[in-house]
């Protein structure tokens, strides 16, 4: 027990928070091309994302949907949103995890094949946001399943999400080089 | 030692064992436990003794014939003949009865306090003894007595579970059908007596040449109907799917495994042994009956969702396959091709043995499932492979054997049947070639459908998730039930691997029949365990077995060490899109069979009942529940039995006019009958 506790304290948190406020002015096509390069190298050309709505207020979903519209069109960079966690490389969880959705989130996590990356998207998913402390929520995705990356914003804009995705891919690339 | 077993004294001991078992069981009627152990242990001992008697008679150089006791009637003699054919059937009966009795020790426990175990044990012992007598009797009248003992005892066993009205009806149908059959058999023996002046088989055989062709043909038709009723040839099969589900499972195993084979035994005895030589059309009729029974039997099995009815229809199918072998033997004999006839007869005997082992295994396995779940409906079962792994493995073994998959025994006997049919196509001319082509085609078709049917049965019962509360709480059956099934499964595999040697023994068995005397060249050659059909084709069971083992091993290693070497395998729950998996998502056995049934809707006349219950009766949107029932209309009842019944009723109405109710009229009838009798006897 003590050994387990010490291990818990000693191990650095693997969680990487990304603040996308710095990339408000970047060019989408430039970011997109870099994402495409990384996806080609790391995921053989296609990054499959499964989005899980764990009690979100749908704000983050609106922005994610916008990623697929003709303006952003992330599919051209090799990023796809898929319908089943069985096909996914990355889980994108939104919302403060309502109690009724916790089990669904856990099952989705279990159904995603390894290696997998979990991204908590939006302030709600990171720490509960405006819902924090409510009896109906678990406050954060990391309280329910292990989270690797966080993207802040309430909600983050599509441009911010793209920018953050690039940083995540850069981190994955750097880690895989080690 | 073997001389003692295969002698009159050995046989008396055999009968005594069953008699003591039956009598003791009645004495202990008050105490279910004692009655159970007493009756089943004596049945075990008796069947074990029966196996020794059979082996003794098989190795004896000459047929063992003896007469027991004396009878008050000149025509009835309690004479026995244990030639190799009878010994083979004695062996099959004793073998299956032995394992069924072991199984019964634990199986009948669920009847404790509900129905008397004493009477069950009594009729059980009498039933086995009756079958042994049928296979060894050598006098027509004595045979009929034994036949009745067997039939009536099995009738009482069928209605043992007598609280359900349906079982009583099934028993009654069985009693009527079996006596209808017996009536035809009696007529056949009376005709034989008229021509030969004796009921003794030996006398009939020696006087066979004197029987006129018309009488011979009449005897053939009568005994085909009579014995065919017991064997379950379509359209005389109607009692089988009713009686087998009603009977306790070890009884179904015995009835389906061996009792219906006594019909086959008597067909071989009467057609090949007593009545030879015979015209060509007998064999053709048998081939057609076999092809029809095999094909229709398996089709009806596919439509069935009652597991024991399904197995009963498969018995009809397998009887058809046995008849294909027998029919080709008869055809070849009338075409003067005795070596090919030997091949056909060996095929049918081998399939008799094999069907007895795997069908009793399947019935015992089904009994174990029903005992735990209290339902025979496959739509309410499912998922039992986790709860009853041993039973599942045993049932799978039986399913593979009955679907004729190598290396199990069913494959090799069907292979032999195919060989004899192919030989028929190759060796005969345009008079009979068509029937062999049809028979071979229907056998091939039957094999495929049987496989589909057992995929359905095994899948619906053992795979996926339990569909009912009862199925969730099933447990592995207790020791003696498993101890009765494991050896049968082992035998199914063993008879497959050593089928070369078994075929050789069966060739000796069949070769001792008088029709094969004087043809020294055996057609089947079994060297180093391989069966070879006269240089035409051969198969080597041990090699098949080894190759399958090697292939399994190779696939296993290839997957483990080549493909999955670098990958870690983790097991998780099935992805269900967030909804919970429920048994309602599983494919039902009706749904599985539907497409095949609809292909054959011309023959099977399926009935589909759809009923939709809606939340709003007027608009009929938003259905609350839907129900679809797929059934098969009983064309035999509507097209054969109902018209026959109507005809009989119409004649009865005419006959009623004689019954005036006046005493002096009846006295006149008696006087007329007396005068008539006097006139004809002078």
Average the pLDDT over B391-397 and give the result.
Answer: 95
pLDDT for res B150:
94
Instruction: Name the minimum distance, in Å, from the CA of B581 to any CA of chain A.
Output: 13
pLDDT for res B207:
81
Residue B312 has pLDDT above 90, yes or no: yes
Average the pLDDT over B410-428 and give the result.
Answer: 89
Q: C-alpha distances in angstroms, A160 versus A92, B409, B482?
A: 15, 70, 67
Average the pLDDT over B193-197 and give the result.
Answer: 87
A125 lies in some domain? yes
Q: Using the beta-carbon criterion (under 8 Å), do B573 and A86 form an inter-chain contact?
A: no
User: What token pair was written down for B393?
Assistant: 């493995």
Least confident of A19-33, A123-137, B84-98, B254-268: A19-33
Which residues in chain B are contacts of A114 at CB distance < 8 A?
568, 570
Highest mean pLDDT among A81-90, B531-540, B555-564: A81-90
Instruction: Count how many pairs of residues, chain A against chain B, have C-beta atoms within 8 Å.
Output: 17
Residue B242 has pLDDT above 70, yes or no: yes
Question: Cβ atoms within 10 A of the Cβ of A102, count?
Answer: 18
Quote the CA–CA distance of B526 and B533 in Å, as a whole number: 9
B578 to chain A: closest CA residue: A104
A100 to chain B: closest CA residue: B578
Burial class (CB in 10 A: 0-12, 13-18, 19+), A170: middle
Enumerate residues 6+ apart whose C-beta is below 8 A from B5: B49, B52, B53, B55, B56, B57
Q: Does B571 touch chain A (CB under 8 A)?
A: no
Which residues in chain A are contacts of B568 at CB distance < 8 A?
114
Which residues in chain B are contacts of A84 at CB distance < 8 A?
575, 577
Share of chain B above pLDDT 70, in %: 97
Q: C-alpha distances in angstroms, B362 versus B367, B469, B489?
A: 8, 24, 9
Looking at residue B536, what DSSP letter applies?
A: T
Average the pLDDT over B428-456 and give the result.
Answer: 91
Residue of B567, B570, B575, B581 to mutate, interface with A, max A Cβ within 10 Å: B575
Q: Give the 3-state DSSP-derived string for B106-150, with helices as H, strands as E and coil as C.
A: HHHHHHCCCCCHHHHHHHHHHHHHHHHHHHHECEHHHHHHHHHHH
Residue A13 has pLDDT above 60, yes or no: no
Quote the CA–CA distance of B364 and B385 in Å, as a whole number: 16
Residue B224 has pLDDT above 90, yes or no: yes
Q: C-alpha distances in angstroms, B228 versus B91, B171, B274, B310, B323?
A: 22, 18, 17, 20, 10
Quote the CA–CA distance of B501 and B565 in Å, as a whole number: 43
Residue B146 has pLDDT above 90, yes or no: yes
Enumerate residues 6+ apart whose C-beta is below 8 A from B253: B96, B100, B103, B359, B360, B361, B363, B364, B367
Residues of A with CB under 8 A from a CB of B: 84-86, 104, 107-108, 110-111, 114
Instruction: Name the minimum distance, in Å, from the CA of A53 to any CA of chain B.
Output: 12
A52 to chain B: closest CA residue: B578
A105 to chain B: closest CA residue: B578
Which residues in chain A are contacts of B569 at CB distance < 8 A?
none
Quote the CA–CA distance of B39 and B517 in Å, as a whole number: 43
Q: Using the beta-carbon criterion (under 8 Å), do A111 and B572 form an inter-chain contact?
A: yes
A110 to chain B: closest CA residue: B572
**Number of structural domains found in chain A:** 1
A3 lies in some domain? no
For B573, the closest of A104, A110, A114 (CB atoms) is: A110
ipTM of the complex: 0.71
Instruction: Name the minimum distance, in Å, from the CA of B575 to any CA of chain A.
Output: 6
Q: C-alpha distances in angstroms, B214 versus B188, B193, B272, B292, B640?
A: 12, 15, 17, 26, 26
Range of the domain at A158: 13-177
| Nearest Cα to Cα of residue A18 among A125, A151, A175, A126 | A151
Average the pLDDT over B238-262 and give the result.
Answer: 92
> Is there a contact between B492 and B426 (Cβ–Cβ < 8 Å)?
no
> Is there a contact between B381 and B461 (Cβ–Cβ < 8 Å)?
yes
A6 lies in some domain? no
> Is there a contact between B346 and B326 (Cβ–Cβ < 8 Å)?
no
- pTM of the entire structure? 0.87
Mean pLDDT taken over chain A: 85
Q: Does B609 touch chain A (CB under 8 A)?
A: no
A2 lies in some domain? no
Q: Using the beta-carbon criterion (under 8 Å), do B573 and A104 form an inter-chain contact?
A: no
CATH number of the domain within which A82 lies: 3.40.50.12280
Q: Is B201 left (phi over 0), alpha (psi -120 to 50) or beta?
A: alpha
A114 lies in some domain? yes
pLDDT for res B493:
93
């Amino acid at each position: 027990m003590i050994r387990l506790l010490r291990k818990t304290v000693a191990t650095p948190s693997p969680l990487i928070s990304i603040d996308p406020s710095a990339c408000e002015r970047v060019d989408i096509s430039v970011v997109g091309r870099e994402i495409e390069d990384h996806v080609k190298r790391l995921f053989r050309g296609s990054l499959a994302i499964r989005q899980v709505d764990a009690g979100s207020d749908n704000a983050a979903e609106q922005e994610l949907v916008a990623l697929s519209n003709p303006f952003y069109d992330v599919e051209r960079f090799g990023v796809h949103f898929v319908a089943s966690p069985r096909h996914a490389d990355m889980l994108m969880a939104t919302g403060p995890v309502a109690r009724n959705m916790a089990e669904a989130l856990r099952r989705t996590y279990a159904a995603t094949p390894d290696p997998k990356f979990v991204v908590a998207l939006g302030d709600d998913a990171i720490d509960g946001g405006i819902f924090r402390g409510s009896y109906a929520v678990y406050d954060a995705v990391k309280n329910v399943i292990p989270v690797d990356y966080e993207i802040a914003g309430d909600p983050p804009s599509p441009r911010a999400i793209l920018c953050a995705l690039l940083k995540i891919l850069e981190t994955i690339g750097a880690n895989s080089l080690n | 030692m073997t001389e003692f077993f295969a002698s009159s004294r050995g046989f008396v001991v055999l009968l005594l064992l069953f008699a003591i078992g039956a009598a003791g069981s009645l004495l202990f009627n008050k105490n279910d436990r004692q009655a159970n152990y007493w009756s089943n242990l004596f049945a075990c001992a008796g069947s074990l003794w029966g196996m020794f008697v059979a082996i003794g008679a098989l190795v004896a150089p000459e047929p063992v014939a003896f007469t027991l006791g004396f009878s008050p009637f000149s025509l009835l003699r309690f004479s026995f003949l244990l030639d190799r054919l009878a010994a083979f059937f004695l062996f099959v009966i004793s073998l299956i009865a032995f394992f069924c009795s072991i199984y019964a020790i634990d199986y009948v426990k669920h009847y404790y306090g509900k129905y008397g175990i004493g009477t069950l044990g009594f009729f059980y012992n009498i039933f086995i003894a009756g079958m042994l007598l049928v296979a060894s009797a050598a006098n027509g009248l004595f045979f009929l007595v034994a036949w009745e003992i067997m039939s009536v005892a099995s009738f009482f066993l069928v209605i043992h579970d007598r609280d359900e009205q349906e079982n009583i009806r099934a028993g009654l149908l069985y009693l009527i059908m079996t006596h209808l059959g017996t009536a035809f058999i009696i007529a056949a023996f009376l005709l034989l007596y008229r021509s030969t002046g004796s009921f003794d088989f030996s006398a009939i055989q020696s006087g066979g040449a004197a029987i006129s062709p018309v009488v011979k043909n009449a005897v053939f038709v009568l005994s085909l109907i009579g014995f065919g009723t017991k064997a379950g040839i379509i359209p005389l099969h109607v009692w089988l799917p009713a009686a087998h589900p009603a009977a306790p499972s070890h009884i179904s195993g015995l009835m389906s495994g061996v009792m219906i084979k006594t019909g086959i035994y008597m067909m071989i005895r009467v057609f090949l042994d007593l009545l030879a030589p015979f015209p060509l059309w007998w064999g053709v009729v048998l081939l057609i009956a076999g092809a029809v029974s095999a094909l229709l039997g398996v089709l009806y099995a596919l439509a069935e969702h009652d597991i024991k009815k399904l197995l009963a229809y498969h018995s009809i199918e397998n009887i058809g396959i046995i008849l294909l072998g027998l029919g080709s033997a008869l055809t070849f004999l009338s075409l003067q091709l005795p070596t090919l006839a030997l091949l056909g007869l060996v095929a049918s005997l081998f399939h008799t043995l094999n069907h007895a082992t795997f069908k009793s295994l399947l019935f015992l396995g089904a009994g174990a499932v029903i005992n735990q779940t209290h339902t025979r409906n496959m739509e309410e079962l499912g998922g039992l492979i986790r709860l009853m792994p041993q039973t599942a493995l045993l049932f799978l073994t039986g399913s593979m054997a009955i679907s004729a998959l190598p290396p199990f025994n069913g494959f090799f006997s069907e292979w032999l049947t195919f060989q004899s049919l192919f030989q028929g196509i190759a060796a005969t001319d345009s008079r009979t070639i068509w029937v062999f082509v049809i028979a071979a085609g229907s056998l091939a078709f039957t094999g495929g459908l049987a496989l589909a049917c057992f995929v359905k049965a095994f899948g619906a019962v053992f795979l996926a998730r339990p569909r009912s509360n009862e199925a969730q709480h099933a447990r592995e059956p207790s020791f003696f039930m498993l101890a009765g099934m494991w050896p049968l499964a082992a035998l199914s595999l063993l008879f497959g691997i050593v089928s070369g040697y078994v075929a050789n023994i069966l060739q000796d068995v069949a070769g001792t029949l008088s029709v094969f005397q004087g043809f020294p060249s055996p057609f089947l050659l079994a060297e180093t365990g391989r069966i070879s059909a006269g240089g035409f084709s051969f198969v080597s069971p041990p090699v098949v077995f080894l190759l399958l083992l090697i292939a399994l091993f190779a696939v296993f290693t290839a997957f483990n060490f080549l493909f999955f070497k670098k990958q870690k395998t983790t097991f998780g729950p099935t992805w269900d899109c967030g909804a919970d998996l429920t048994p309602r998502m599983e494919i039902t056995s009706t749904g599985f069979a539907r497409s095949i049934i609809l292909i054959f809707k011309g023959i099977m006349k399926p009935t589909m009942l759809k009923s939709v219950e809606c939340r709003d009766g007027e608009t009929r949107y938003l259905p609350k529940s839907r129900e679809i029932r797929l059934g098969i209309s009983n064309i035999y009842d509507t097209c054969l039995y109902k018209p026959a019944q109507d005809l009989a009723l119409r004649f009865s109405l005419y006959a009623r006019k004689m019954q005036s109710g006046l005493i002096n009229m009846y006295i006149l009838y008696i006087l007329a009958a007396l005068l008539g009798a006097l006139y004809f006897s002078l």
